[in-house]
């Protein structure tokens, strides 16, 4: 009887633990993860995100806008306070709260009313989707909730990026010493680098290099690593023997950037 009682007690405790863990689940997928689009002054811009509840229970989500910036590691930092020059007063959302059925999805609308007299530039904001707070047990019980931010980049008028290379260097990343190009964005919207560069290292080995695709915000200076590509999808990443000669062209929207340099350790 004692063994049976201990077994029953353990089963009840495990069930309570699993129920509490399941209640804290933040099972949501939001698409797209970011939006990059363009709008005209004086127009009403509209778009949709899709919120998928992947749990077996109905879920309530709070939704609001936020301003954001990037920290030193390139991660987004969100704030409810209006940033200087924030365009969030232009933005409207469909609802502050929604309920999504079990294993269901909800198309959520938002809009931005662009002033007619606004200068070319970029409106950036985030749409934050947050689950209901759940109380986590322990020595000090505290409410915890999951949150996802969909970042929106909205270019206004003829805004464009202007990426200028400042210098080259190397850095130890992902267990390899990689070439790095530093760029400054002198334009009035964010930019991203795309394309392929050809490299030839000190041993005469030819290496294809691809730039990191992280955003370079207006006025920002950012180091962009170049990643060597395997010869085939299952191949090993090439190890570079420096110095490395690099030549080719990178693109950022309509901008074309010719690259020809040698990188040494």
| The token pair that represents 178 in the structure block | 């990689």
- Pairing between strand 121-131 and 59-70? antiparallel
pLDDT at 20: 38
Indicate the domain borders of the chain. Answer: 27-156, 163-263
Task: Name the strands in the sheet holding 91-93, side by side, starting at the edge strand that comes first in the sequence.
Answer: 28-31, 44-53, 105-113, 91-93
- Give per-residue pLDDT as tens, 45-87: 999 999 999 989 999 999 999 999 999 888 899 999 999 999 9
Helix (H) or strand (E) holding 252: strand 244-252
In the predicted model, what is the mean pLDDT of the chain? 87
**Torsion, Cα of 244, 250, 252, 258 (10° steps):** 100
**Tokens, residue 136:** 């986590």
Kindly give, in sequence order, each residue whose CB lies less than 8 Å from that of residue 200, ignoring residues fewer than 6 positions away: 206, 207, 244, 245
Reported as a single tens digit per residue, the pLDDT across 225-235 is: 999 999 887 88
Helix (H) or strand (E) holding 12: helix 2-23
Q: Does domain 27-156 have CATH number 1.10.3720.10?
A: no
Q: What is the pLDDT of residues 177-188, one digit of tens each?
A: 999 999 999 999
> pLDDT tens digits, residue range 83-116?
999 999 999 999 999 999 999 999 999 999 999 9
**In which band, very low, low, confident or very high, does the pLDDT at 134 lie, cut at 50, 70 and 90?**
low
Q: What kind of fold does domain 163-263 have according to CATH?
A: Immunoglobulin-like (2.60.40)
Residue 26: the pLDDT is 64
| DSSP assigned state of 89 | G
Q: What is the pLDDT of residue 4?
A: 33
Q: What's the pLDDT at 25?
A: 57
Give ∠ CA 188-189-191 in degrees, rounded to 5. 125
pLDDT at 136 over 60: no
What tokens appear for 36 in the block? Answer: 């990059």
Give the model confidence (pLDDT) of 157-209 as tens digits. Answer: 999 999 999 999 999 987 889 999 999 999 999 999 999 999 999 999 999 99
Query: What is the CA angle 31-96-79, rounded to 5?
Result: 75
pLDDT exceeds cutoff 80 at 9: no
Domains 27-156 and 163-263 share a fold: yes
């Amino acid at each position: 009887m004692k063994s049976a009682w201990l077994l029953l007690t353990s089963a009840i405790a495990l069930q309570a633990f699993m129920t509490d863990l399941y209640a804290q689940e933040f099972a949501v997928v939001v698409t797209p993860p970011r939006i990059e689009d363009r709008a005209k002054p004086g127009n009403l811009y509209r778009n949709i995100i899709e919120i998928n509840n992947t749990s077996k229970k109905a879920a309530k989500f709070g939704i609001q806008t936020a301003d954001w910036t990037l920290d030193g590691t390139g991660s987004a930092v969100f704030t409810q306070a209006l940033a200087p020059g924030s365009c969030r007063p232009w933005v409207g959302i469909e609802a502050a709260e929604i309920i999504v059925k079990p294993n269901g999805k909800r198309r959520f609308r938002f809009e931005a009313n662009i002033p007619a007299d606004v200068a070319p530039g970029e409106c950036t904001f985030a749409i934050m989707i947050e689950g209901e707070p759940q109380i986590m047990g322990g020595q000090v019980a505290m409410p915890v909730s999951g949150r996802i931010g969909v970042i929106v980049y909205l270019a206004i008028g003829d805004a464009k990026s202007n990426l200028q290379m400042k210098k080259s260097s190397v850095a130890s990343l992902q267990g390899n010493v990689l070439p790095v190009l530093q760029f400054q964005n002198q334009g009035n919207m964010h930019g991203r680098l795309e394309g392929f560069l050809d490299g030839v290292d000190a041993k005469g080995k030819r290496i294809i290099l691809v730039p990191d695709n992280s955003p370079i915000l207006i006025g920002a200076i950012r180091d962009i690593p170049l990643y060597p590509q395997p010869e085939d999808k299952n191949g090993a990443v090439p190890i570079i023997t420096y110095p490395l000669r690099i030549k080719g062209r990178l693109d950022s929207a309509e901008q074309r950037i010719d690259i020809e340099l040698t990188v040494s350790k």
